[in-house]
Amino acid sequence: MNDVVNYVIDGNIGVITVNSPPVNALSQAVRQGLLDAIRAAASDDTEAMVIHCEGRTFIAGADIKEFGKPHAEPLLPDLLNEVEASEKIIVAALHGTALGGGFETALSCHYRIALDSAKVGLPEVKLGLLPGAGGTQRVPRLAGVEASLELILSGAPIAAGRAAEIGLVDKVVSTDLLAEALAYARQLAKTRAPVRRTSELTVENVDDSVFDNVSAGLGKRARGQTAPPRIVECVRSAMTMSFEDGQKRERELFSECMQDPQSVALRHMFFAERVAAKVAGLSDDVPIRDVKSVGIIGGGTMGGGIAMSFANAGISVTLVEINNKALRRGLTIIDQNYAGSVKRGKLSESKAADCRGLISGATDYSALGDVDLVIEAVFEDPELKKDIFARLDKACKPGAILATNTSYQDVNEIAAATMRPQDVLGMHFFSPAHIMKLLEVVRADKTADDVLNTVMALSKRIRKVAVVSGVCYGFIGNRMLQGYFREAQLCLIEGGSPESVDAALYDWGMAMGPISVGDLAGLDVGYKARQAQPEEERGDPAAYRVPDVLVEAGRLGQKSGKGFYTYDADTRARTSDPDVQAIIEREAAALGIERSPIDAEEIVDRLIYALVNEGMRILEEGIAQRPGDIDVVYVYGYGFPAWRGGPMHYADAVGLGNVLSRIEEFRNRFGDDNWAPAPLLEKLVREGRTLAEWTER
């Protein structure tokens, strides 16, 4: 048919083969080739057809290169309607992952056979979209309403066996898929099986309460998102409308999704995550060091989580603590975490046991003599970290990579404590490290290219999303967070309450409000950091006066049962505490602050634009490679809503001119110390350019 779709006749069966590496995506050429093959088969002597794919997967979805471009014919819905209308039986042979438009292609075929290792799914919701080629109409006709809602709203793939259980796959085989598919097609032809068109089936009626309950659950499951309610409407239409009318409604709602800023943001994040893995200026031929074993210094919550991240990827880990008591405590935390993973169904007992078996303990650095990578994960004491790296320099073999998990400290100074600064970099994990996906990889001045390349490649093995940062206090994420928390505290003392500040950001889409985050992290952490600074370097006293008073009163946050809120000892459920509001009002008066109500819009703008303004400085300084990297950091590490695209994309979406105007308003009200606009922001507004355009410079 063309370079990517082939059609041959095998006896009485027409075999349509897609071969478009790497994932057989539904490019225009693939769509055209399929259409031409179906039409060719309609007029030859074959009795049935098989659609299968070369390579490691069936059609894995849309061609991302076509995202954002004008649609080229044949359009997928039209193609699939023609596939389904064929007078000859068409069998889809599935292996690898049949996702999105790829699975919709399979659904338009009359029968489906799959390898037992195959997975199928409709992940469009993760891009703020819905299946737009009949998926919301065909799945309910095969699997019923409730199974359809779960599949499409979750966006998660399911195994072939499960797909067969709910009627989406007709036959599951374990070997030689093409031979089995040909035999299946011949059997169907021989027995004169019906040309079974899914569009001609009816959807079994369910009570309206099914839709009502799912819609109610979206308030928590998909808070603030616009695609999921549209998906529910589409599935309901499959039950209440004809296929043609339902498909028309699906296309209308799909078009709405495509134009929705949320989908634009989610598609931005899709690409930003992939681009973040690329290090600017790093040649493709830079080698990667072999990492088969890892050492972790420090067996606390962070160190244990890091150890699990590597063990879960099949990499052996040696956990080093200062004494046997500390080591037992650290290994016990790991045991408890694995037990929790088994209880939640995240790991089987055997898999958890295998992973735990890869983690051993030691109390002497000599145990690290042969490891390929060591990660220091002790508390934030720069002198302690330098001492550890000096010891590692002597204990570790030449070529071992030495990494620090510091959240703030100068990686250049830590590297200088060794005789091998080229082997040193930062690997900033986020807690809990075995769950959180973000990894900030901090490139120091003397970090070797192959060390950086090795760690970026390793991040994929341990299923982390890695972003490269330069060296500065707090790197990308925590540096920006200082302004965010500063404004949260200022809004609090100037007229807000813990509840009003938290509600403003939570309702806007953040995973948690900033006051709750402080309680979760521990108010004493920031307190200790401030106490180590000269008073003149701590900034505006109003921005830390209340948390300091709370810490000195023993209110450290969740860990002590009291912080800005009071917490239930068993459930950690929080309640408001009038004593805290009294403290806020008292300290405001002591600082001469006249409190007045602050609305949610101002609270959001002050906190989010503080992030944006600092992000602009980070870009201008070259700490972050690109705006999308900052967005990846904040979505994966700090609970920023993905459907807003990260702080930098959000600034573009709002309009940089609008952002600058608001920041200038805040500067006029609050002064230059906190609100001097970043020069890059001023420059882009002056030139009429967006951050996206600046990135393409």
Q: What is the DSSP secondary structure assignment for residue 62, as one 8-state letter? A: B
Which residues are known catalytic residues? 104, 124
Phi, psi torsion values for 692, nearest 5 degrees: -60, -40
* CB-based contact 227:136 (threshold 8 Å): no
Distance CA(690)–CA(696), nearest Å, equals: 10
* CB-based contact 90:49 (threshold 8 Å): yes
CA atoms in the 13 A half-sphere facing the CB of 629: 28
* CB-based contact 460:476 (threshold 8 Å): no
CA distances from 656 to 394, 482, 544, 663 (A): 51, 22, 30, 10
Return the beta strands (E) in 54-183 as ranges.
89-94, 97-99, 111-115, 119-121, 158-159, 171-173
Distance CA(610)–CA(171), nearest Å, equals: 56
Distance CA(319)–CA(310), nearest Å, equals: 11
Nearest Cα neighbor of 617 from 694, 546, 677, 543 is 677
* CB-based contact 331:361 (threshold 8 Å): yes
* Torsion angle (degrees, nearest 10) of CA 344, 348, 349, 352: -90
Return the beta strands (E) in 246-322 as ranges.
293-297, 316-320
Cα-to-chain-centroid distance, residue 189: 46
Distance CA(318)–CA(358), nearest Å, equals: 8
